[in-house]
Structure 1
Amino acid sequence: MLKNTFFSAACVSAGLVSFTSHADVGSNPARAIIHAPIGVMGDHLHAKGEFMFSYRLMNMQMSGNIQGSDSITDDAIATTVANPYANPPMSPPTVRVVPQDMSTQMHMLGFMYAPSDNLTLMAMINYLDKNMTLTTYQGAMGTNTLGDFDTTSSGLADSKLALLYRLYDAGNHHLHGNFAWIIPTGSEQESAEVLTPMNSRMTMRLPYGMQLSSGSHQGELGITYNGFSEHFSWGAQGLYTTALEKNEQHYKLGDKLQLSAWTAYEISTQLSTSARLKYSHTTDISGADAMIQAPVTTANPDNYGGELLDLAIGINSVISGQHRVAFEYQIPLNQNVNGVQMEMDYMWTLGYQVAF
């Protein structure tokens, strides 16, 4: 169902190709409409010799939990969801620590340079700040709670080196390939103090979702299309990311497929609005970190991955032809996760770019 919804939207966007114009809109960097939504990375090439610097601030909020696509209560998790690391009496048979909410902020610095009109090089450096609030249930059974506690992790995340190569260019229709190497420059060994079901506090390695890095080198392949008419633009992008090996903790994150389709409308030369559909499919974690064995859903590698369909609304502005300020707000339309996971509420991206 999710895939059918996405491809229907992609066809609508592709249908906009029937618009024509007398000028090559996509060659005019002073127009806001030439840019894809700010949440799309690697969406365009640059002219030979051109540099671009970008900064993005991304904020994602999650709260509550779902099992598959259905909501599940805290009490149900604590009394019915199996703890894969059960070892009574030290470790209870069911999950006894339940995530309540999570916020993730990413600061992303990007650099692009075009040695030729057909090739653009890109580098991205990321900094993450994560915070999760959890509730601990008392003992090995029942619905009495001991209280809440917070865990945090922050620091350098994985970095990316990429190249964009022009595959087709005909007036207002542009197609390029995306090729990237993701480098594990962050840490996958973050720890924090937790409240245990036995009402003690101890320092433990944080679950996978709270780590800053995949710990693995990853490859990313993709393709991006952009089309333009007099007052509209549209596009689509597909990216596939896979870990090239297990990390030093003996696991690797799941493969990820991301598909986006968008369209934008020009309010003025310097201002445009956009709408985007994004579909993603991620497999669960392969392997496990022997140091992550806690009675919490996020410690189970099977509780990662799934299918998501999101809708994003954005605005782009271009100032003096060189400076771009843009914003995009994204909400989930459908979430179908593996196992039990936190539910995404929303995500927003604020970005600035300057080309010279």
Structure 2
Amino acid sequence: MFKQSILMTGLVTSGLMSFAASADNSHTTTQAITHAPIGVMGDHLHKEGEFMLSYRFMNMQMSGNVQGNNSISNDDIVTTIANPNAPPATVRVVPQDMTSQMHMLGFMYAPTSNITLMAMINYIDRDMTLTTYQGMSGTTVLGDFETASSGLADSKLAVLYRLYDSPKHKLHANIGWVIPTGSVEEKGEVLTPMNTKMTMRLPYSMQTSTGSHQGEFGLTYNGYSDNTSWGAQGLLTTSLGENDEGYEPGNKTQFTAWAGYALSDVVSASVRLKYSSSDEISGADSQIIAPVTTANPANYGADVLDLGIGINTVFTNKHRVAFEYSVPLSYDVNGVQMDMDNMLTLGYQIAF
């Protein structure tokens, strides 16, 4: 996994540095080192009257399953993990791998020097491969099948408010409202343990929305010197109530810290640690009843520590192209969940 990360970092770094070199003779309005890694949202304010448009692409790969902080085999899952929607007594369908891709469109505007407004619209595309075991018990594999969902995900409106500003240290508050613009009624065809195919409501992880309004509150700090930058951000996301299907996402706390180094005025490299802690889903959707781990609200929420490596480039007219590749360093999940392999974030921004 880490060899893969280093190889990808080297390839993208080489490409971006070559691309940025062509702009090195142009006037650079903002140095690359002044930006946080592209995976950090709401990291900076803008000058009064300034706009920014952004696009991010996030690709997450997951494979295998873990219980707590240890791997668990398919056979162990179907013989020991209880099915809350029994019968059958244990789950009979096991996720194998999953790809989640998100497209994020962002807009920022600063009506004053101390306030920046932010809006984000997200589109998500998910694919999952699962294995069904035959009958009500045992370890006989019946076959594999795939499910997929795509569409608008939850959107966000936010206000960034400046608390402190000096040439080398900046601090602002993040206040956001997550709006459930996606769907919690996605359906798919499932291979049942009885060797029939049935259209059912997909589990929570395959829905494109939480279905709940959420509040987001936090602080972001940025520090700068001649060739280095550093920063930290803490965010709390909390549900404002149950959705129409009778459940709500668990609260989530995130803390991230990063450091950057200027390779030139237009290229910088970064390293970032992110710790997130989230609670299980509260309540349940009475129509999510498949005998699979992802249909159990108790199998959501985790404590995860991620490492990210990134590259920023900023060139003519405040264009920014950046990437970040992250992998998990440690985790402790609630119940049984899929294991995340890696996440890649690519982004483009233009300020005017």
How big is each residue's C-alpha offset from its partner over 1:80-128, in whole Å with a ceiling of 9 and x where there is no partner? 11111113xxxx1111000000000000000000001100000000000
Tell me whether 1:45 sits opposite 2:41 in the alignment.
no
Give me the whole-angstrom Cα distance separating, in 2, the residues matched to 1:29 and 1:315. Answer: 18
| Counterpart pick for 2:92 among 92, 96, 101 | 96
Give runs of ≥4 in structure 1 deviating > 3 Å: none
| Partner SS for 1:268 | coil
| Partner SS for 2:263 | strand
- 1:258 Cα deviation after fit: 0.5
Which TM-score applies when normalising by structure 2?
A: 0.92
From the superposition, tell whether residues 262 and 106 of structure 1 become closer, same or farther in structure 2 (CA, over 3 Å): same
Tell me whether 1:170 sits opposite 2:166 in the alignment.
yes
| Partner SS for 2:245 | coil
Give me the whole-angstrom Cα distance separating, in 1, the residues matched to 2:82 and 2:255. Answer: 33
How big is each residue's C-alpha offset from its partner over 1:155-212, in whole Å with a ceiling of 9 and x where there is no partner? 0011000010000112210000000001110101100000000000000000000000
Tell me whether 1:84 sits opposite 2:80 in the alignment.
no
How big is each residue's C-alpha offset from its partner over 1:13-38, in whole Å with a ceiling of 9 and x where there is no partner? xxxxxxxxxxxxxxx95200000000
Q: Letter of the aligned partner of 2:311 in structure 1?
A: I
**RMSD, aligned α-carbons:** 0.8
Match of 1:185 in 2: 181
Q: Letter of the aligned partner of 1:329 in structure 2?
A: Y
| Partner SS for 1:84 | coil
Give me the whole-angstrom Cα distance separating, in 1, the residues matched to 2:296 and 2:350. Answer: 42
Match of 1:65 in 2: 65
How big is each residue's C-alpha offset from its partner over 1:258-293, in whole Å with a ceiling of 9 and x where there is no partner? 000000000000000000000000000000000001
Q: Letter of the aligned partner of 2:36 in structure 1?
A: A
Match of 1:144 in 2: 140
Asked if the contact 1:243–1:255 (Cα under 8 Å) also holds between the matched residues in 2, the reply is yes
Asked if the contact 1:31–1:321 (Cα under 8 Å) also holds between the matched residues in 2, the reply is no
Match of 2:11 in 1: none
Tell me whether 1:194 sits opposite 2:187 in the alignment.
no
Equivalent residues in 2 for 1:211-226, closer than 5 Å: 211-226=207-222
Match of 2:235 in 1: 239
Q: Letter of the aligned partner of 1:76 in structure 2?
A: D
Asked if the contact 1:323–1:355 (Cα under 8 Å) also holds between the matched residues in 2, the reply is yes
| Partner SS for 1:109 | strand
Give me the whole-angstrom Cα distance separating, in 1, the residues matched to 2:62 and 2:228. Answer: 33
Match of 1:33 in 2: 33
Equivalent residues in 2 for 1:320-335, closer than 5 Å: 320-335=316-331
- 1:147 Cα deviation after fit: 0.6
Q: Letter of the aligned partner of 2:178 in structure 1?
A: I
How big is each residue's C-alpha offset from its partner over 1:26-77, in whole Å with a ceiling of 9 and x where there is no partner? xx95200000000000000000000000000000000000000000000000
| Counterpart pick for 2:347 among 333, 343, 351 | 351
Asked if the contact 2:29–2:316 (Cα under 8 Å) also holds between the matched residues in 1, the reply is no
Q: Letter of the aligned partner of 1:40 in structure 2?
A: V
Match of 1:256 in 2: 252
Q: Letter of the aligned partner of 1:58 in structure 2?
A: M
Percent identity between the aligned chains? 67
Match of 1:266 in 2: 262
Q: Letter of the aligned partner of 1:230 in structure 2?
A: D
Q: Letter of the aligned partner of 2:261 in structure 1?
A: Y
Match of 2:338 in 1: 342
Give me the whole-angstrom Cα distance separating, in 2, the residues matched to 1:231 and 1:56. Answer: 26
| Partner SS for 1:79 | helix
Q: Letter of the aligned partner of 1:36 in structure 2?
A: A
Asked if the contact 1:167–1:175 (Cα under 8 Å) also holds between the matched residues in 2, the reply is yes
Give me the whole-angstrom Cα distance separating, in 2, the residues matched to 1:29 and 1:53. Answer: 16
Give me the whole-angstrom Cα distance separating, in 1, the residues matched to 2:168 and 2:108. Answer: 22
- 1:321 Cα deviation after fit: 4.1
Asked if the contact 2:29–2:315 (Cα under 8 Å) also holds between the matched residues in 1, the reply is no
Q: Letter of the aligned partner of 1:49 in structure 2?
A: G
Q: Letter of the aligned partner of 1:41 in structure 2?
A: M
List gaps (5 residues or longer) in structure 2.
Answer: 1-27
Match of 1:301 in 2: 297
Q: Letter of the aligned partner of 1:73 in structure 2?
A: S
List gaps (5 residues or longer) in structure 1.
Answer: 1-27
Q: What count of residue pairs does the alignment treat as equivalent?
A: 325
Give me the whole-angstrom Cα distance separating, in 1, the residues matched to 2:48 and 2:29. Answer: 14
Match of 2:23 in 1: none
Give me the whole-angstrom Cα distance separating, in 2, the residues matched to 1:294 and 1:193. Answer: 11
Give me the whole-angstrom Cα distance separating, in 1, the residues matched to 2:318 and 2:166. Answer: 24
Match of 1:227 in 2: 223
Asked if the contact 1:236–1:262 (Cα under 8 Å) also holds between the matched residues in 2, the reply is yes
Asked if the contact 2:255–2:276 (Cα under 8 Å) also holds between the matched residues in 1, the reply is yes
Give me the whole-angstrom Cα distance separating, in 2, the residues matched to 1:99 and 1:248. Answer: 27
Q: Letter of the aligned partner of 2:312 in structure 1?
A: N
